[in-house]
A and B are shown apart, each in its own frame.
Chain A
Amino acid sequence: MAEKLTLNLKELSKRTEGLASGHRACAGCPFPAIIKMILGAADDPVVVANATGCMEVVTTIFPYTAWPVPWIHNAFENAAATISGVESAYKALLRKGKIPGNKKIKFIAFGGDGGTYDIGLQSLSGAIERGHNFLYVLYDNEGYMNTGIQRSSATPFAAHTTTSPAGKVIPGKTQHRKDLTEIVAAHNLPYAAQASPSHWNDLIRKVRKALSVEGPTFISIISPCVPGWGYPEHMSIELAKLAVETKFWPLYEVENGYYKINYKPRNPLPVIEFLKPQARFKHILNRPDLIEEIQRFVDERWERLLWLEQRKPEENK
């Protein structure tokens, strides 16, 4: 168990160097900050597996690596399978006394939404079901951004991408996003959560919580994308915050099957406030019917969370 779950900014600043400078992430991309928070949140040595994607490709251009920790990339659809092999190797070597028994190691897999919601869903499901001791971090930028902005099953309704273009007949993506956190929670794993880099203290607490638990854990983090969403570079954290304040991206956790919403906006903003600054939604700003449909979906998902949250563990009743 971690000493305490929260860290203040001063403590955090001392804990990690994060990614080394010189990586090729776009200006304004929030995931270097997300990585820094996650690595900083860990008390024990960390080993990382990374699915193919922006994060992988911009941080490890041979012969350099921006990662201050051991790191393995093994294709797109299999970060969870790969980390399960790494974790099993350490278990086997520990049992044989080939590595010291007092050494605690944390295994973290990073994947984007394409590598997690879509092509990597099977391998993630398998690894969680087998109960490997690892944290899977999904950084969700709501599309295949590394290949140049294509729709994924995480892309929101009506969003323009290069494969769900805002056309004259079809106004962007015709389906709502899949609820991956719910799918993961259905595996009855010890801990799953949603977080946002705008709420860094909540994010760090969740990472520390996840790393303190034995078994598979999962955190889905919204990661706004400057070129993919179409907004000025300085607005990434602002957009992540708007996603939370509009209830588009609820901050919640599922611990041993019990739901808890960690932040309930006192005066929630309408979803249009989140959509408005983004070029991917500009074609629907004069389509109140489509904006209404997004609002309806957001409200429905929120209501469902409130309902799920009503079931409390025995001791809290």
Chain B
Amino acid sequence: MSFKKVLTGNHAVSYGAMLSKVEVISAYPITPQTQVVELLSELVADGYLNAIFVTVESEHSAMSACIGASAAGARAFTATSAQGLALMHEMLHWAAGARLPIVMANINRAMAPPWSIWTEQNDSLSQRDTGWMQIYVESNQEVLDNIILSYKIAEQVYLPVMVVLDAFVLSHTSEPVEIYDQEKVDEFLPPYNPQYKIEPGNPIGYGALAAPDTYFEFRYKIQRAMENALDLFEKEGKLFGEIFGREYGLVEEYMMDDADYILVTTSTITSTAKVAIKKLRERGEKVGILKLRVVRPFPFEKLRHVLSGRKKVGVIDRNISFGHHGIFYQEIKSALYPMENRPPVFGYITGLGGRDVKVEDIIDIYEDLKKRETVEDIIWKGVKL
């Protein structure tokens, strides 16, 4: 029987991995991810999870061992954050290029210097182009659910998935989380049985040299796999809803039906924004929220569909591409560009380095969006100047 347990976001990651029956975990501790690997170690030590935990000496080796394990036919898992993710960078390209369905949780943390352990999205967004799928989640239940969902999709398209959650706001905050009946999870997520694997007696090679006459097609196929994953996110998210009662899509729409103004959010800022939007709705404001969940593959069609006919769109970024703009702002703009009557898009940057984003801040952003006549690419919110 399923049951509810009060869990931190980090522990929701661990239980998600347990329910996914991961077979090899290879991880290295880093604040604010450490509790993920602590609980997984305990689950393995107590026999709740029949897996091998490889206590590697670095994040680079963590991903290297996941790659070896996944290529050998085991379901592999790891978790990290910020500096650790950056150290993994070379191997992130490798995992995707080798088409290995590894799942990783990344706890969003600001990159140093200055040294910081608080939430910001530049760590994961710096890995945006490595060929990993990325899902940004808002609640601890969504954390657990999306670890399971990620394996289901990864193992069909043979690409890895990063489930991304905010440092502390989610990683260290407790919420009631439903832990599902294992049989139901098994029904949704069959055992990992890859098309190709390193097995004795079958002399296949992984990681060969591809000259210019062959390399290009490998890249084309990764892009096609990403595109195929878009439909799978909708299909499997729906099936997940049928089995577990919680449906997931590429995006989440909140009070958008009649909304003229849309705020685009990710991660926990969404929860804050939902409170703000309720207050604004009480005042009669026609505003809604579009939560971006799946960022790679990017849901172009979906975004055009749901944003068409709106008066204005404000994108809230807890990240920045230095010398450019907020990263989701860029991406939303690029999605809407082919539309004939596209709404104007405004970019808000806020909450860098874990600075708190409050309900009043979201209300301010909305009011600013409503009255602003000309598009500004970066509207700083909450920076002390």
B339 at the A interface (CB under 8 A): no
A-B contact list, 17 entries, CB within 8 Å: A61-B209, A62-B208, A70-B204, A70-B205, A72-B198, A73-B208, A74-B91, A74-B98, A74-B207, A78-B64, A85-B24, A85-B65, A85-B70, A89-B23, A89-B73, A125-B57, A130-B55
A96 touches B50 (CB 8 A): yes
| Given A45-B201, A73-B206, A89 contacting B58 (CB threshold 8 A) | no
A67 touches B203 (CB 8 A): yes
CA distance A287 to B211 in the complex (A): 45
Interface positions of A from 82 to 124, Cβ below 8 Å from B:
82-93, 95-96, 98-99, 103, 105, 122-123
Query: Beta-carbon contacts of A60-84 to B below 8 Å, as 1s and 0s?
Result: 1111110111111111011001111
Chain A residues in 8 Å Cβ range of B56: 81, 84, 126, 130
From B50, B65, B90, B200, contact of A84 by CB (8 A):
B65
Minimal Cβ-Cβ distance residue in A for B193: A98
Chain B residues in 8 Å Cβ range of A98: 73, 191
A53, chain B: closest CB distance, angstroms: 12
B74 touches A88 (CB 8 A): yes
CA distance A87 to B23 in the complex (A): 12
A74 touches B68 (CB 8 A): yes
Chain A residues in 8 Å Cβ range of B214: 62-63
Minimal Cβ-Cβ distance residue in A for B25: A88
A188, chain B: closest CB distance, angstroms: 17
Known A57-B209, A62-B211; 19 more pairs at CB < 8 Å: A60-B208, A62-B208, A67-B203, A68-B203, A72-B205, A82-B64, A82-B65, A82-B68, A86-B71, A88-B52, A89-B71, A92-B23, A92-B52, A96-B50, A99-B199, A123-B57, A123-B60, A126-B61, A130-B56
From B54, B90, B207, B208, contact of A85 by CB (8 A):
B54
Minimal Cβ-Cβ distance residue in A for B213: A62
Interface positions of B from 175 to 201, Cβ below 8 Å from A:
191, 198-201
CA distance A64 to B206 in the complex (A): 11
B68 touches A62 (CB 8 A): no
B76 at the A interface (CB under 8 A): yes
Chain A residues in 8 Å Cβ range of B51: 92
B306 at the A interface (CB under 8 A): no
B72 at the A interface (CB under 8 A): yes
B26 touches A88 (CB 8 A): yes
B148, chain A: closest CB distance, angstroms: 19
Top 7 closest pairs, chain A to chain B, by CB: A85-B68, A85-B65, A126-B57, A73-B207, A45-B200, A89-B74, A89-B72
From B55, B69, B90, B203, contact of A75 by CB (8 A):
B90
A279 at the B interface (CB under 8 A): no
A44, chain B: closest CB distance, angstroms: 8
CA distance A90 to B203 in the complex (A): 16
Count of chain A residues near B, Cβ 8 A = 49
B230 at the A interface (CB under 8 A): no
B334 at the A interface (CB under 8 A): no
B64 touches A74 (CB 8 A): yes
B203, chain A: closest CB distance, angstroms: 5
B61 touches A123 (CB 8 A): yes
| Given A63-B214, A86-B71, A96-B50, A105 contacting B209 (CB threshold 8 A) | no
A47 at the B interface (CB under 8 A): yes
CA distance A87 to B73 in the complex (A): 11
A46 at the B interface (CB under 8 A): yes
| Given A62-B210, A126-B57, A93 contacting B23 (CB threshold 8 A) | yes
A85 touches B76 (CB 8 A): yes
B104, chain A: closest CB distance, angstroms: 14
A76, chain B: closest CB distance, angstroms: 9
Chain B residues in 8 Å Cβ range of A240: none
Minimal Cβ-Cβ distance residue in B for A61: B209
A184 at the B interface (CB under 8 A): no
A49 at the B interface (CB under 8 A): yes
Chain B residues in 8 Å Cβ range of A45: 200-201
Query: Beta-carbon contacts of A31-55 to B below 8 Å, as 1s and 0s?
Result: 0000000000000011101000000
Q: Which of the listed residues A69, A83, A85 has the most CB atoms from chain B within 10 Å of its own CB?
A: A85
B205 touches A89 (CB 8 A): no
A93 touches B65 (CB 8 A): no
| Given A74-B94, A123-B64, A61 contacting B207 (CB threshold 8 A) | no
B72 touches A75 (CB 8 A): no
Chain A residues in 8 Å Cβ range of B91: 74-75, 78
CA distance A61 to B26 in the complex (A): 30
Interface positions of B from 39 to 59, Cβ below 8 Å from A:
50-52, 54-58
Chain B residues in 8 Å Cβ range of A47: 72, 198, 200
From A57, A71, A123, A126, contact of B206 by CB (8 A):
A71
B209 touches A85 (CB 8 A): no
CA distance A91 to B200 in the complex (A): 14
B7 at the A interface (CB under 8 A): no
Chain A residues in 8 Å Cβ range of B209: 56-57, 60-62
B66 at the A interface (CB under 8 A): yes
A72 touches B69 (CB 8 A): no
B77, chain A: closest CB distance, angstroms: 11
Q: Which of the listed residues B65, B201, B203 has the most CB atoms from chain A within 10 Å of its own CB?
A: B65
B147 at the A interface (CB under 8 A): no
CA distance A290 to B227 in the complex (A): 63
B222, chain A: closest CB distance, angstroms: 15
B24 touches A92 (CB 8 A): yes
A91 touches B52 (CB 8 A): yes
B21, chain A: closest CB distance, angstroms: 9
A65 touches B205 (CB 8 A): yes
CA distance A91 to B191 in the complex (A): 16
B20, chain A: closest CB distance, angstroms: 14
